[in-house]
Amino acid sequence: MKLDAEASLAGKEAGQQLALLFAVEWSSDVVKEFRNWSAKQKLMGQCTITIEQFRSQSNAVPNSHKAWGCLPRLLMQAGLVRPAMTEDGEPRYMRAAAPKTHAHPVRLWRLV
């Protein structure tokens, strides 16, 4: 198997677009819910979050779990988050907390 980062990224983007085609109503609902949720987080002094934290409390459930992968892009487009970066300009990660995730790394997002 040949490794190809560009093809991998293109596949990711195509898959997210396809998932959004089947989740149009969900995408507007989840962004609205996130806007309210993030406002509360900021009031509590939170500067960074994971999508996992929001997802664990969200009432907006897509038809397919695959739509969750689109959420960071939707939130960035809405101006609600931006990537949390290290001093070296690399994305920041932390371990996931949901038991089913087996503590894999999840990206940190800065609330805007």
pLDDT digits (tens, 9 = 90+) for 45-88: 999 999 999 999 999 988 888 888 889 999 999 999 999 999 99
Q: Which of 76, 74, 79, 102 is nearest to 91 (CA)?
A: 76
pLDDT tens, position by position, 16-26: 676 666 666 88
Residue percentage of the chain with pLDDT more than 90: 61
Q: What is the mean pLDDT of the chain?
A: 89
DSSP per-residue letters across 38-51: HHHHHHTT--EE-H
Query: Is the entire prediction scored with pTM above 0.85?
Result: no
Round to whole Å and give the CA distance between 70 and 101.
18
Give CB contacts under 8 A, 24+ apart, made by 40-47: 41/111, 42/111, 46/111, 47/110, 47/111
